[in-house]
Structure 1
Amino acid sequence: MDIHVIFIIFSVVLNTVSSGKHDKYAGYTVHGVHLRDVQDQRVLYELQHKLNLDMWRYGVPGDRPSLVMLSPKQADVVLNELDRYGIKHYLDVADVFWNLAEFDQNLISYRRSRSERLVPFEDYPTHAEVNAYLERVAAQYPEIVTLVTAGKSWESRDIKYLKISTTNFTDSSKPIYFMMAMLHAREWVTTPVTLYSIHRLVENLRNEDRDLLEGTDWIILPMANPDGYEYSISDDRMWRRTRSNRPEISTTCVGVDGNRNFDALYQPSNNPCSLTFPGPHAFSEIETRIVRDILHKYVDRIQVHLDIHSHGNYVLFPWGDGTLTPNAAQLFHVGSVMGAAMDSMKLPSAGFYRVGNSALIL
């Protein structure tokens, strides 16, 4: 077959897969920005908030570049401003539309290549598949697993989590490890981490990990923002917010940034279309209220609360305003152990994990 025909067929496949779904990102680009110091960070930060830029990664001066997605209109302004300050930048993704289309095609090929049905933590499962997995695990291991339906999302999807305990949460001396993911809808890679953790604790417990199950009680919430996640699958791959709809606030923009909807350092905003809009008030979203209620219920025993995000190799701890918590030294120590463990298993092409206060690092 002529190579040109092969290329045309491949193009048709990509167009079919992505028809309409990624159209809004045609002509969008992603640029890496080399940060020299805190001043460069401030320049990029001000551009982000002035132009509502979509940051794919917050960089670290002298260590790793920032990644920012730009519309054609934004690109002219941002790149000129970076040049004005002598901040070096480079083109990382030439066309986001084609990047997303290629991702779709690769995912389809991967799924077809598997000889048997993928288990949820080997794939990007739907919300229904995640809940089905939680239900199956709870049914098969009732002596250590309890399924909890915490409530319904804005669009009435069940938000479920597992409690995993050899003592059914009755031993108050045992610490609780609360793990959650998918607060930002587009961060697909986070939910499989929680599902694999469930698998290793319950279905494939190894002798060297037995103390993790016997000495600790676990709460694992794999999908904190199911509405946004399903929307990122069906309509907009880059969607990160919730899907709450409040016409009295905006008739064109829906949802809020769940990360900024908590009452810690809550900062009100009059821009409901911002990617980081925190909502009309703290805990305006049922999704963040569910997280809050879990924390309140077990606050005396929760020793670790791990909120998994992407993208970027970081282990971050509070507070978000750059001040340090009283146990910051302990958090840094634990984070460093975590980072070193992940560094030992990471792909050679991946960066080493950076550990530190979230505001000071980012």
Structure 2
Amino acid sequence: MVNNCSVHGVVISNYEELNILQELELELNLDVWQRGLPGVRDAVVMVTPENRREFFSELESHSIQYYVQLEDVVQALENHEADVINYKIRRRNGAMPFNDYPRYAEVDAYMERIAREHSNIVTIVTAGNSFEGRPIKYLRISTTNFRDTSKPIYFMDAALHAREWVTTPVTLYSIHRLVEDLSSEERDLLEDVDWIILPIANPDGYEYSHTNERLWRRTRSYRPELNATCYGVDANRNFDVNFNTVGVSPDPCANTYPGPHAFSEPETQIIRDILLEHSGRIQIYMNIHSYGNYVLYGYGNASLPDNALELHYVGAAMGAAIDAKKLPQALYYSVGNSNMVLYQSSGSAQDYGQLFVPFSYTLELPGYAYWFQVPPDYIDQINTETWAGIVETARLSKLFYRASL
């Protein structure tokens, strides 16, 4: 798939050019790695031999500047694979799943061990199976077994987009900090908040991105009656809110194909059911993605929830807490409505969560200059800085929840 592909930066000067890029994405089936922010961040687009000539021609016809960022995607992926292998060799017998790029089985084993060794506060839940039959599991962490309704729930998930490997370690590190390495200064996070943590929301795609195609984004469902050659849908366009309206492609082979109907995927059904089961108590839903340094909230069609001011306040507090610990070369987090800051979308987990949860976010982790192929040496940094943001939002969730009781 990535043979003879290249990656290009596209200078986005205004929102008209941003809209042109999104139109080209759908028309040419482009893989847009970063949409860009007018006057702030350039877009990043992977170009194939099939769409290269037309893409460049369209950009030039609108006087939109572009430049090469990566000549050879295959070589970059090979370098990334070598980095991961060397990292594992260096840290052999010393790496935990939360400071590594773990496979599905490693994540499963870690969760099972945590639940077994800390059964007084941790329960493992098998919520259902993926399309290919992999159990999708999450942890419930609570000192009161979720019985104390005066405590808010913090729900986070990761790897809904398969290729975004760096998201899963953040969830595992959060488990580690809450259960295995709880500091006295953070004891309130365990005692006053209940947690639902789902480290791999799309296990089929996640495994496929490890074994077959590193840049695979979608689920792995197969519907030959719709298309005999293309698999999966964009799970983050498969939720039942403004479904199949903006920012999606009708092409079953496209990265932004939303699926034949809302909740066609067992993976999105599981997230839906968690949100519905705990509606009223979940105060924060954090749908973790990579990359771009964003804290985003609904709605993807540019309309705003009634509590947009509070959403922005909590999101800005998260971004500031992370930025206080960021690396010098990292971008500062941008905070805002996902349509206005990033791009239009429909059927997203963030938007669906907002129907039931006061504070529903898409968190886009740093990519530095490595896009989806973040070298594993950065994992510890991303974990610790993101945890600072999670701590901040968890404490704010307590305040807002108590005020609502």
Q: Same fold (TM over 0.5)?
A: yes
Residue 271 in structure 1 maps to residue 248 in structure 2: no
Deviations 1:199-218 (A, max 9, x none): 00000001111111111000
TM-score, length-scaled by structure 2: 0.82
Aligned partner (choices 201, 210, 213) of residue 187 of structure 2: 210
- Give me the CA root mean square deviation: 1.0
1:211 and 1:88 mapped to 2: Cα distance? 51
Aligned partner (choices 302, 324, 343) of residue 344 of structure 1: 324
Residue of structure 2 equivalent to 1:82: 59
Residue of structure 2 equivalent to 1:122: 99
Query: Identity of counterpart residues, as a percentage?
Result: 55
Counterpart AA for 2:190: L
1:285 and 1:107 mapped to 2: Cα distance? 30
Deviation at 1:32, TM superposition (A): 0.7
Deviation at 1:83, TM superposition (A): 1.7
Counting only pairs closer than 5 Å after superposition, residues 141-220 of structure 1 correspond to structure 2 as 141-220=118-197
1:209 and 1:77 mapped to 2: Cα distance? 54
Greater gyration radius: 1
Residue of structure 1 equivalent to 2:400: none
Flag as ranges the 4+ runs of structure 1 deviating above 6 A. none
1:96 and 1:85 mapped to 2: Cα distance? 26
1:73 and 1:330 mapped to 2: Cα distance? 45
Counting only pairs closer than 5 Å after superposition, residues 310-329 of structure 1 correspond to structure 2 as 310-329=290-309
Residue 304 in structure 1 maps to residue 281 in structure 2: no
SS in 2 for 1:196: helix
Counterpart AA for 1:150: A
Deviation at 1:82, TM superposition (A): 1.2
Aligned partner (choices 334, 357, 378) of residue 354 of structure 1: 334
Counterpart AA for 2:68: L
1:33 and 1:339 mapped to 2: Cα distance? 25
Work out which structure has the larger RCO, using CA pairs closer than 8 Å and 6 or more positions apart in sequence: 2
Counterpart AA for 2:290: S
Could you tell me which runs of 5 or more consecutive residues in structure 2 were left unpaired when the two chains were aligned: 343-405
Residue of structure 1 equivalent to 2:224: 247
Aligned partner (choices 283, 306, 319) of residue 263 of structure 2: 283
Deviation at 1:34, TM superposition (A): 1.1
Counterpart AA for 2:235: G
Counting only pairs closer than 5 Å after superposition, residues 217-232 of structure 1 correspond to structure 2 as 217-232=194-209
Deviation at 1:87, TM superposition (A): 1.2
Deviations 1:305-357 (A, max 9, x none): 00000111100001110000001100100010100111111121111100000
2:326 and 2:124 mapped to 1: Cα distance? 32
Deviation at 1:115, TM superposition (A): 5.0
Aligned partner (choices 77, 82, 90) of residue 105 of structure 1: 82
Counterpart AA for 1:238: L
2:122 and 2:134 mapped to 1: Cα distance? 22
Counterpart AA for 1:336: A
**Structure 1's 130 and 115: CA in aligned 2 closer, same or farther, altered over 3 A?**
closer
Aligned residues: 339
